[in-house]
Amino acid sequence: MKKILLSAHIVTIVLLLTACGGGSKTSSVSLQGDTIPLKYAENLTLVKGEGYTEARLRNPWNTTALLHTYILVEKDKPLPNRLPEGTLVRTPLSNALVYTAVHCNLIQELGAVESIGGICELQYIKVPEIIEGCRNGSIVNAGEGTNPDMEKIIDLHPDALLLSPYENSGGHGQVEKLKIPIIECADYMETSALGSAEWIRFYGFLFHQQAKADSIFAEVEKNYNDLKALAASQPIKPKVMCELKSGSAWYVPGGRSTTGKLYQEAGGEYPFGHYPNSGAVPLSFETVFDKAQDADVWLMKYNQPTDKTLSSIQEDYSPYTQFQAFQNKNVYGCNTAYRPYYEDFPFHPDLVLKDLIKIFHPSLFPDYELKYFSKLAE
């Protein structure tokens, strides 16, 4: 009996490794379609063709090249005779393996949480339905995203993997051999908060929730732009420093990053905005001190069981006390162990923006209680 089961499992592996349906490449055909207008996303293009939707993802690390092209065709319709070149994805997804907590949150908000068949990184996920599903076995916990359990993935046979690509990562490891579509969720590499949030429209197509996705984004866009205009009307812009020293480097958001721009759009003066990076910039303590010693506000994010205090960060690194924001006790922390900052920011930047405006310009929202940040106690 054990030999029969083992043989069946080997056959399943072979079939998955050689299957061409889920992760097949469509033939190279030049076809025209109607481009779906996107206002803010720079790395995403959506084109509506006859019987399919094409999603082109620009490589954020080499903007002259494509990262990936997906050809989305509805499951209940026959494949068109002619399709553009790209990875074929049959929609709506109904058994997806989702690597990231932020996209688990988004799929739940789209009303498609039942389409999640498996996840990675359970320790970071706060969606009750997913936590319960992993507990009762209806959702597969495939372990760590960097080293997922291949046997569990093979047994699940997902219709797509949703994961975040990284520069110079060398690919996605063994899962690439399974011939399952890999959806590269590069929304986080957009250079504006609304650009990242607009990717919700792509995910709407994947789960057949286009109308809901469009509605959510329209509300986020309006709220964000209204808040941005309100902050821009303020004559005083407090200088903002951020984060903490990590090892020998102090990582700050680059000037083209969504976070770096967010500080400025909240009505703050960001002393590291001149760095052209769209990701984090490693700096020395001396450089940060030279630029931000006189900062009015200090923001930091961290993940730990208890909240940081002024005393605890002083114990961690005594030179922190030389910053004006520390001396004035104007330091704010976001403990992501229980605050959903990373889950909310990509697709609801308006919520984070309101927190920052409250900190930078408290008179604008006298009755608003901070959702993500809180002032560090002594």
Residues with Cβ within 8 Å of 263's Cβ and at least 6 positions away in sequence, in order, are 240, 242, 253, 270, 273, 299, 356
Per-residue pLDDT reduced to its tens digit, 32-69: 679 999 999 999 999 999 999 999 999 998 999 999 99
Residue 258 has pLDDT above 60, yes or no: yes
Q: Are 99 and 121 in contact (CB under 8 A)?
A: yes
Amino acid at 280: A
Query: What is the per-residue pLDDT for 175?
Result: 86
Q: Percent of the chain beyond pLDDT 90?
A: 85
User: What pTM value is reported for the model?
Assistant: 0.88
Mean pLDDT of 244-268: 96
Q: Are 66 and 86 in contact (CB under 8 A)?
A: no
Query: What is the per-residue pLDDT for 23?
Result: 62
- Tell me the C-alpha distance between 282 and 154, whole Å: 39
Query: What is the per-residue pLDDT for 46?
Result: 98
Mean pLDDT of 139-162: 96
Residues with Cβ within 8 Å of 40's Cβ and at least 6 positions away in sequence, in order, are 190, 192, 194, 195, 197, 198
166 vs 334: which has the higher pLDDT: 334
Q: What is the mean pLDDT of the chain?
A: 91
Strands (E) located in 159-237 = 160-163, 182-184
Query: What is the per-residue pLDDT for 17?
Result: 38
Q: Confirm whether 20-219 and 234-375 share one CATH topology.
A: yes
Q: Confidence class of residue 284 from pLDDT cuts 50, 70 and 90?
A: very high
Q: Confidence class of residue 173 from pLDDT cuts 50, 70 and 90?
A: confident
CATH of 234-375, one of 3.50.40.10, 3.40.1740.10, 3.40.800.10, 3.40.50.1980: 3.40.50.1980
Q: Confidence class of residue 71 from pLDDT cuts 50, 70 and 90?
A: very high
Mean pLDDT of 322-344: 97
Q: Are 29 and 82 in contact (CB under 8 A)?
A: yes
CATH topology classification for 20-219: Rossmann fold (3.40.50)
Query: What is the per-residue pLDDT for 12?
Result: 41
Residue 5 has pLDDT above 60, yes or no: no
Could you state, in order of their start, the residue ranges of all structural domains in the chain?
20-219, 234-375
Per-residue pLDDT reduced to its tens digit, 102-116: 999 999 999 999 999
Query: What is the per-residue pLDDT for 18?
Result: 35
Residue 354 has pLDDT above 70, yes or no: yes
